[in-house]
Structure 1
Amino acid sequence: MTIRISRLLLTGLALLLSVAAPASAEVCAVDDTDREVCLAAPAQRIATLSPGATELVYAAGAGEKVVAVVAYSDYPPEAREVASVGSHTRLDLERLVALRPDLVIGWVTGNPPEQLETLESLGVRVFYLEPRTFEEVASAVERLGELAGTREAARVEAERFRNGMAALAARYAEVAPVRVFYQVWDEPLMTINDDHLIGQVLRLCGGVNVFGALPRLVPRPGEEAVLAADPEAILAGGMGEENRDWLDHWARYPQLTAVARDNLFFVPPSLIQRPTPRLLEGSRLFCEKLERARERRGAQGS
């Protein structure tokens, strides 16, 4: 039986948010909807409403302040022990408000707008994130550090990420291009275009996205279109960290260049499909896979 949460109950729970915070100077940051969010003092109780948001808060050095997460918030491992308040698409508002967060990290396109609007109407501060470039990933970490009072830890992590991505860009700046198909999902078949963050990783590594020019951020090209494009390499993450079934599917087509040269590569999806500092590790793996594809050109006499 579904229980309808009364606004009166939510309002009563929200009053708990008025517990006095330690005296400190006001902290402010601009979120990814260009709104300035200010707190009277650094956040002490943070709720993260997507797995990516969870990772970003921990990366900013504020993991000990996280009191609520959503399903699939599995990194770092300690995040699995934090109270869950539903999924990123449907929140348990009563449970969330009862945990008394003084800052909620929402995802611009991933969370139900009406539920976040309800939180804001109760006086809960919501900071929206959705990094879409390498610099925005670093900036997100720094801005969360400002709001959580962990500025120095966040700065160090953001610079580590910036420097690592810059080093990859320099290393692969002059490499021979490799035509690539990256599979996001299987049914329906999904990929990414050049504007997507994963598309930016491909370019960084010297890859040419065979569907990069399509206007949709996450196109649905169809199997026939992939066969016609004949990529030199296929990269996929599968439905889990160790699931390579999607690559087995493409192995049925020996006429594909990627299959003929054994360029079917698995990359754990959490390393590449979440816009967090772990994207650096995923990018290194991408670059290594494409370098292997280049080496196999000579080995097969082509």
Structure 2
Amino acid sequence: MRVPRRLLAVPLLTVLAVSGCASGAPEETEAAAPSAGFPVTVTDARGEVTLDEAPQRIVSLSPSGTEILFAVGAGDQVVAADEYSDYPAEAPTTDLSGFTPSVEAISDHDPDLVVLARDAEDTATQLDELHIPVLLLPAAEDLDDTYDQMRLLGSATGHADEGAAAAEEVQGAIDEIVSDTRDQLGEADTSYYHELDAGLYSVTSDTFVGQVYSLFGLRNIADEAADTAGGYPQLSAEFVVEQDPDLIFLSYPGGDAAVADLADRPAFDTIAAVENGDVVALDPDTASRWGPRVVDFTQDVADALLAAEGRGDEDAA
């Protein structure tokens, strides 16, 4: 079930303001102005931010932030997004960089709100000096952070109800996927390896990505690395072969070609996941962004588990 893709297409809730004149005849009906309920104060990575009015010209330099803005109904207010904000299709992708933001280039879009990733704090300070409101959002460390950012961006853009509804729907979809999958599989001691790139960088269970796998009770081989490197260790080929994971997930472009390349590595054909055809090429965006499409990532993990179980049952028969 890939429910939340529709979250990015339309607002979850439509609020109409209807007023009548003294005679009782209806006046023109229109969408409620997002500025209703402002000023609002939200808390980002640097502290409290007060917005006097609902922003009408948002610049988003975070792909996850862009997806969340559309999910909470603020898509029409986004006038520019960074070069990697390629989803949904209607996102106003530009050549703006989220990694090396240019204050001048941002200012050219005349924004009344800029959404930045946590590592762009210097840019945030410069925008403050120009009196341009900024929200600095850290990378999510767990699913609760995803839900919190949906609520935060909903409140900051005049769509508090939509933000709360989006968070609730995503959380409900993930809970249902995990519950259904675990009901079918029961308790299983299944190990996995998540590969970020062909250089064998991985993630531990302490990361956002790793915690999604933990929902299913999977055992992460990267947790056993001598140096977990803050959650993103570089493993050796020998280590991966020795750990012999039951499932391998590739979180970078390449698809079937990447799967074939992994199988061709020395000794990797002896790994259970390779022998059994349980190497999965993930969508690198849904497997790395903490927006509403984390449901798709969760579903991909569930599908891989169920497929592996099905192949095991066939072999046993």
**TM > 0.5:** yes
Q: Which moved more, 1:191-200 or 1:126-135?
A: 126-135
Deviations 1:61-103 (CA, angstroms, capped at 9, x unpaired): 1011011211111100001xx2625221112321211211111
Q: Secondary structure at the match of 1:41?
A: coil
Aligned partners of 2:78, 2:96: CA distance in 1, in Å? 15
Contact 2:252 2:284 in 1 (8 A): yes
The corresponding residue for 1:206 is: 217
Deviation of 1:243 (Å): 3.0
Q: CA deviation at 1:34?
A: 5.4
- Tell me the residue number matched to 2:296: 281
1:153-168 to structure 2, matched below 5 A, reads 153-168=162-177
Amino acid of the structure 1 residue aligned with 2:189: P
1:140 to 149, 155, 176: 149
- Cα deviation, residue 116, structure 1: 2.4
Q: Which amino acid aligns with 1:243?
A: G
Amino acid in the other structure paired with 1:87: S
Structure-2 separation of matches of 1:22 and 1:58: 18
Aligned pairs for 1:1-302 within 5 A: 25-31=38-44, 33=45, 35-79=47-91, 82=92, 84-109=94-119, 111=120, 113-129=121-137, 130-173=139-182, 174-186=186-198, 188-214=199-225, 215=228, 216-239=230-253, 243-252=255-264, 253-301=268-316
Q: TM-score, normalised by structure 2?
A: 0.80
Amino acid at match of 1:250: L
Q: Deviations over 1:187-212 (max 9, x none)?
A: x3211000111111111123211113
* Kept after mapping to 1: 8 A contact 2:59/2:78: yes
1:151 maps to amino acid:
A
CA–CA distance in structure 2, aligned partners of residues 115 and 106 of structure 1? 8
Against the structure 1 CA distance between its residues 276 and 297, is the aligned structure 2 distance closer, same or farther, given a 3 Å change threshold?
Answer: same
Do the aligned residues in 1 keep the contact of 2:86 with 2:93 (CA within 8 Å)? Answer: no
SS of the residue 1:78 aligns to: coil
Please, which moves more after superposition, 84-93 or 258-267? 84-93
What is the distance in 2 between the residues matched to 1:175 and 1:295? 15
**TM-score normalised to the size of structure 1?**
0.84
- Identity value in percent: 25
Cα distance in 2 between the residues matched to 1:213 and 1:138: 30
Structure 1 residues 24 and 170: alpha-carbon distance in aligned structure 2, compared to 1, 3 A threshold = closer
The residue aligned with 2:8 is none
- The 3-state SS of whatever aligns with 1:118 is helix
| Unaligned runs of at least 5 residues, structure 2 | 1-33
Cα distance, 1:180 vs. partner?
0.5
- The amino acid across from 1:29 in the alignment is V
Distance 1:23 1:230, change over 3 A: closer
Shift, 1:24, TM fit: 5.9
Letter paired with 1:296: R
Structure-2 separation of matches of 1:56 and 1:120: 23
CA positional deviation for 1:286:
0.7
Checking the alignment, whether the CA contact within 8 Å between 2:35 and 2:158 is kept in structure 1 is: no
Count, aligned residues: 274
**CA offsets 1:213-256 (integer angstroms, 9 cap, x no match):** 553211111222111111111111322xx633331122223211
- Aligned AA for 1:179? S
Structure 1, unmatched stretches of 5+, are 1-20
* SS of residue matched to 1:289: helix
Instruction: Indicate how the Cα distance of structure 1 residues 230 and 117 shifts in structure 2: closer, same or farther if over 3 A, else same.
Output: same
Please tell me whether the aligned partners of residues 197 and 252 of structure 2 are also in contact (alpha carbons under 8 angstroms). yes
CA contact 1:176–1:294 (8 Å) conserved in 2? no
